[in-house]
Structure formats: structure tokens, C-alpha cells
Amino acid sequence: MNLSTIRLILSTAKSSLATTTEIPCYTGYYMGDSVVTTDTYKVCGINVPMMKTPVLVAPEALELLDVFTDEHIQVFSYGNRIKFVTPSCAVFGNLMDSIQDFQIEEIGALLNEEFASYCKLSKQELVQLLDRLALFVSAYDKNGIYLTFTADGMQVESKQANSVELLHYKESVNFKPFTCCIDIEMFHSQVKSNVGDSVTLHYGEENAVKISDGNVTEIIALLEDDRVTAD
């Protein structure tokens, strides 16, 4: 493995790890033909081959690798153990034993799903917008905000309509009008983990939106849109 790849994983995929143990396998990093993490509401996939035989690595072990300074890391997997070695350092850890519960085929299909339209937005402007909007989102709103894709840009609105902002596109491809409801905290965390200066946001499906950046893909599940329910 390369240290730069490990740091990419920690800066992007970490935000999609499950933080509770209802489904223990989703608290770890799936490493096989690609790296995948999910908490069942958010998904991150990094299209970089890691292990010939897939393994599930505990987050504590992977975070220790950030102390490495050598770029190239040798990896040895044996039984339920894994070892990461460089000329100056070594990390030993246990592999998680619940990899059979990790629904990699279904998750992989979701990561590869095609969306009808996408746009590019300034990451800095979007993060700042979400920071401002968070002040107007209450517990009553269940963290939900509305995204509306217009010909001029993406409109972001609180449920109480006491904060509405329009963020202009840097690029728009195959624009089609679309609106949805999304959890502001999930959206914010995935946007912040995006490495580039621009956020490529794919939309048009009723169940999720997708963020892509090179070989990194992030999926965020949408909330039920209570405007539709009310109608």
C-alpha cells in the first residue's frame, strides 16, 4: 500500500464509518478490489485495489498508519491478524471477523449507479453555505433541508423557509429540474471530506445523491420529502 492512499482513505472514507454497533461490520474498512465504508445512510467507495483477498480492518489499526513517514507500506495478512510494515515502523492489528455480513455486492451496485444529471459547485462556498444554514435547522426539522436544482444554480433552503440561498454552478451537465430533502449533517460531512476544490454532485434519483471526485465516490441517502407527503 501507499501512505498517500491510506491518508486519502482516512480523509474521505472515515466519515462514512458506522459509529454504533447495531451492524458491527460497518464500523470497519472493507479492503479488497476497492475500499468501502458505510453506516447504511452514507457510503464511500475508493476505486483503488488494496487486497487480493478482501479483509475488514478495524478503524483503530488504520488510524495508527498516519504516523508512518515512508510512502511504501508492506502488508501481511495471516489468519485474523494483519501487519503493516515499513523500514522504520510496524503496526499489528486484528482483522474484524464479520466480513461475511458486509453487503459488498449491493453497496457496490449503489456506488456504480448512474445519475441523469450532475453539477459542479465550489466546495468552499457550499461548506460556508451549509454552516450558515445549520443555524436555522432545529430538532423539529429532523436535520432536513431542501435542495432544489434550478437552471441558475442549486437552491438550498431550511424547512421553515427562514433561510434560502442560491449557489451558482461552476458547471452543469444534462440539467433537469429536481428537488429533494437531505440530512444537513450527513451532507456537510461528505462535502467536507471531498478532496478537491470543486464538488461534483450527481442528482435525479429519488433515493440518494452522489458526490464524485476522481476515484472517490460518496453516496448520501435522501430523507422523505414531507412536501410531497403533505401534497
Mean pLDDT, consecutive 10-residue stretches, the chain (231 aa), reads 95 96 97 97 96 94 93 92 94 94 96 96 97 89 94 94 91 97 96 94 97 96 79 48
d(CA 130, CA 190): 12
Q: Are 128 and 137 in contact (CB under 8 A)?
A: no
pTM greater than 0.85 (yes/no) = yes
pLDDT at 226: 82
pLDDT at 112: 95
pLDDT at 140: 81
C-alpha distance from residue 219 to each of 144, 162, 174 (Å):
17, 28, 20
Q: How far from each other are the two terminal CA atoms of the chain, in whole angstroms?
A: 52
pLDDT at 229: 53
Residue found by looking up cell 464524485 in the block:
212
pLDDT at 228: 63
- Greatest extent of the chain over all pairs of C-alpha atoms, in Å: 64
pLDDT at 161: 74
pLDDT at 138: 82
For residue 144, give the 3-state DSSP assignment. Answer: strand
pLDDT at 91: 95
Grid cell locating 101: 455480513
pLDDT at 160: 85
How are the residues of the chain apportioned to helix, strand and coil, as percentages rounded to the nearest 5?
Answer: 30, 35, 30
Distance of CA 228 to the CA centre of its chain: 26
Q: Are 56 and 99 in contact (CB under 8 A)?
A: yes
> Which value, in Å, is the radius of gyration of the alpha carbons in the chain?
19
pLDDT at 141: 85
